[in-house]
């Protein structure tokens, strides 16, 4: 087995795993990368307990080799589109710090992204209301998980944002419920939205059925006239 700077070949070979790092898997991904780096004897370079040896010391070259191995371990498990996050980093420790600041649930970037996605969600006219309510609820959970909104009026903020996401045809409903959003619960508003949507769809189906019936009767009358003639 080859040995380079006191490192055996198995310590130099990086381990690739799936899925690669993304916004929804940082906790699991960071656990895997930590275990791999520990198995290679490289974790102390990342957590900061093993610092750079002084210039001119015999240990510096070996430290740089091990740090490069740790950086390579990060590189092969991160998609190219995220390299800009730590492109200026010169050590494994700096890469780890940059990734934490960007991807961990409580990072300011992730908080901003979660809030922007939540507040920009919109239901199109004629869209699937039930699916929209479920989607915006999921986005709200991401906001809460990231710590982007911690005020005590969280329910009122959710209700207001949900109402604002509805299309213009809901304007009367929205105006009625926005009068005092702090006094209504999320479940109550969601329930009334789904009830009104079901009523609107039922009315539309009934209207469509009536039109179809009228058209059928008209065709029947036309056919009768043709037969009589």
List, for residues 130-187, the tens digit of each pLDDT value. Answer: 999 999 999 999 888 888 888 888 999 999 999 999 999 999 999 999 888 778 889 9
Is 110 domain-assigned? no
Strand 3-4 and strand 7-8: the pairing is: antiparallel
Question: How far apart are alpha carbons 228 and 184 in whole angstroms?
Answer: 65
Which residues constitute the domain of residue 218? Answer: 125-228
Does pLDDT of 210 surpass 80?
A: no
Task: Please check whether residue 114 lies inside any domain of the structure.
Answer: no
Does 184 lie in the same domain as 92? no
Q: With respect to residue 85, please indicate whether it lies within any of the assigned structural domains.
A: yes
Question: What is the C-alpha separation between 45 and 65, in angstroms, rounded?
Answer: 11
Q: How confident is the model at residue 109 (pLDDT cuts 50, 70, 90)?
A: confident
Last residue within a domain, chosen from 103, 138, 172: 103
Q: Which two tokens mark 128?
A: 């699937």
146 in the same domain as 98: no
Q: Which residues contact 225 (CB under 8 A, 6 or more apart)?
A: none
Same-domain check for residues 89 and 175: no
What is the predicted pLDDT for the residue at 164?
96
Tell me, yes or no, whether 13 and 48 share the same domain. Answer: yes
DSSP 3-state of 181: helix
CA pseudo-torsion sign 89, 90, 94, 96: positive
Q: Which residue has the higher pLDDT, 60 or 223?
A: 60
Q: Is residue 111 part of a domain?
A: no
Can you tell me the mean pLDDT for 16-39? 92
The pLDDT value recorded for residue 10 is: 60
**What is the separation of C-alpha 189 from the centre of its chain, rounded to a whole number of angstroms?**
24
Spatial distance between the Cα atoms of 68 and 71, rounded to a whole number of angstroms = 5
- Residues 39 and 72 reside in one and the same domain: yes
Segment 38-67, tens digit of pLDDT: 999 999 999 999 989 888 777 898 899 899
Q: How many domains does the chain have?
A: 2
Q: Is residue 119 in some structural domain? A: no
Rounded Cα gap, residues 63 and 42, in angstroms = 10
**37 in a structural domain:** yes
pLDDT given at position 227: 47
């Amino acid at each position: 087995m080859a040995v380079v700077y006191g490192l055996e070949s198995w310590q130099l070979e990086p381990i690739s795993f799936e899925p690669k790092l993304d916004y929804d898997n940082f906790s699991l991904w960071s656990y895997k990368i930590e275990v791999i780096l520990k198995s290679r004897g490289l974790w102390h370079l990342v957590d900061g307990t093993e610092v750079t040896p002084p210039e001119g010391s015999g240990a510096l070259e070996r430290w740089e080799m091990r740090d490069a191995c740790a950086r390579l371990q990060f590189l092969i498990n991160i998609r190219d589109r995220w390299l800009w996050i730590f492109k200026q980093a010169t050590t494994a420790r700096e890469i780890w710090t940059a990734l934490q600041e960007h991807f961990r649930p409580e990072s300011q970037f992730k908080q901003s992204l979660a809030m922007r996605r939540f507040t920009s969600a919109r239901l199109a006219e004629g869209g699937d209301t039930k699916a929209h309510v479920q989607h915006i609820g999921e986005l709200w959970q991401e906001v809460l998980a990231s710590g982007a909104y911690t005020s005590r009026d969280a329910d009122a903020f959710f209700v207001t944002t949900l109402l604002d996401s509805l299309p213009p045809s809901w304007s009367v409903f929205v105006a009625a419920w926005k009068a005092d959003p702090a006094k209504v619960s999320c479940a109550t508003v969601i329930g009334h939205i789904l009830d009104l949507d079901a009523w609107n769809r039922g009315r539309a189906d009934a209207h469509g059925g009536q039109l179809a019936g009228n058209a059928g009767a008209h065709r029947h009358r036309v056919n009768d006239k043709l037969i009589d003639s």
